[in-house]
A = this chain, B = another copy of it.
Amino acid sequence: MSPLKPHEQLAALLADDMAAVNAQITQRMASKHAPRIPEVTAHLVDAGGKRLRPMLTLAAARLCGYDGHYHVHLAATVEFIHTATLLHDDVVDESERRRGRPTANLLWDNKSSVLVGDYLFSRSFQLMVETGSLRVLDILANASATIAEGEVLQLTAASNLATDEAVYLQVVRGKTAALFSAATEVGGVIADASDEVTQALFDYGDALGISFQIVDDLLDYGGAAMSLGKNTGDDFRERKLTLPVIKAVALADAEERAFWVRTIEKGDQRDGDLEHAMALMTKHDTLEATRQDALHWAAKARTALGKVPESDLRNLLMDLSDYVVSRVV
């Protein structure tokens, strides 16, 4: 097995395409009139992250044999949508750090984050119009609506103990999986792949995104948290119901339920509450059950790609789904 991780191997295989995407991003975030725009965008774009979403689009298009150049537009589109949602998320969550750096809303202000986010949405919209594909536009319009609806849903559902696994899944699709699945699906569409292959790419992105988010939520209560720049228990302190807690609430007796009502619904948290929450999740084995769910979705992602002709890229995407959950294996 290569010492490189799957996303690093993908990055190596797609290096030329990714360079074109980065050039496109730099060009499109320029603004002659409003220098605040590239300042704010560069702060976030340069901070890096793995550029996972645009890589998914490039890989999907290439493994379908695409040899045009619109996959670069679409990859940049996907990264712009992602960046725009991060800018708005940080305003909504009143975050102060992202990827180990101060957030834009802290460095500039909430106004800039809201408006530059809007600008990036509109730039992404222009990029996809340039592909001339109504089907691509349809997919990305629907993904945008799912993302926005999921965010609003999270706002109202987050601290509500009635939130069950079905609602959690909707929130996760909005928060993460809708953009993953759109990213892979439009890669297939721009390459004029068969309906079966395009559907498989969608299913892969959807399942990969769900497992990715479940792992993230699990790590918030787990050991490897520091590597994410997130502190253990953040979700608990922010009264966000995620899968490990939702499962614990479902299995709670009256006394335990009262604990969750006080700490999550009412937000009355005291010293030792996080430790008690962890103890309840351990008692009901919900961290392990959550891990099993993540593995299930990762396996689903791998299986979906079985319908796509074999290639190095396809195999790397399969490995990527295993890698995502390897953080909690």
Chain A residues proximal to chain B, CB less than 8 Å? 31, 33-37, 88, 91-92, 110-112, 114-116, 118-119, 121-123, 125-126, 129, 132, 134, 137-138, 141-142, 144-145, 147-149, 151-153, 155-156, 167, 170
Residues of chain B within 8 A of A156, CB atoms compared:
34-36
Shortest CB distance A121–B (Å):
6
A115 & B34 in contact (Cβ 8 Å cutoff): no
A152 & B92 in contact (Cβ 8 Å cutoff): no
Residues of chain B within 8 A of A134, CB atoms compared:
129, 132, 134
Shortest CB distance A120–B (Å):
8
This protein's copies in its complex: 2
Shortest CB distance A171–B (Å):
9
Residues of chain B within 8 A of A142, CB atoms compared:
126
A110 & B111 in contact (Cβ 8 Å cutoff): no
Residues of chain B within 8 A of A33, CB atoms compared:
149, 153, 167, 170
Bound Cα distance from A113 to B75, whole angstroms: 28
A112 & B36 in contact (Cβ 8 Å cutoff): no
Given contacts A112-B152, A122-B145, A125-B141, 12 further A-B contacts (CB under 8 A): A88-B118, A92-B111, A92-B115, A115-B155, A116-B152, A119-B145, A121-B121, A122-B147, A125-B137, A125-B145, A126-B138, A129-B134
B129 & A114 in contact (Cβ 8 Å cutoff): no
Shortest CB distance A69–B (Å):
18
The chain B residue with its CB closest to the CB of A111 is: B92
Residues of chain B within 8 A of A167, CB atoms compared:
33
Residues of chain B within 8 A of A91, CB atoms compared:
110-111, 114
Bound Cα distance from A36 to B114, whole angstroms: 19
Shortest CB distance A181–B (Å):
16
Residues of chain B within 8 A of A37, CB atoms compared:
149, 152
Shortest CB distance A162–B (Å):
13
Shortest CB distance A125–B (Å):
4
The chain B residue with its CB closest to the CB of A146 is: B122
B110 & A110 in contact (Cβ 8 Å cutoff): yes
Bound Cα distance from A155 to B110, whole angstroms: 11
Residues of chain B within 8 A of A92, CB atoms compared:
110-111, 114-115
Residues of chain B within 8 A of A121, CB atoms compared:
118, 121, 144, 148
Bound Cα distance from A116 to B91, whole angstroms: 14
B88 & A114 in contact (Cβ 8 Å cutoff): yes
The chain B residue with its CB closest to the CB of A127 is: B141
B118 & A148 in contact (Cβ 8 Å cutoff): yes
Shortest CB distance A132–B (Å):
6
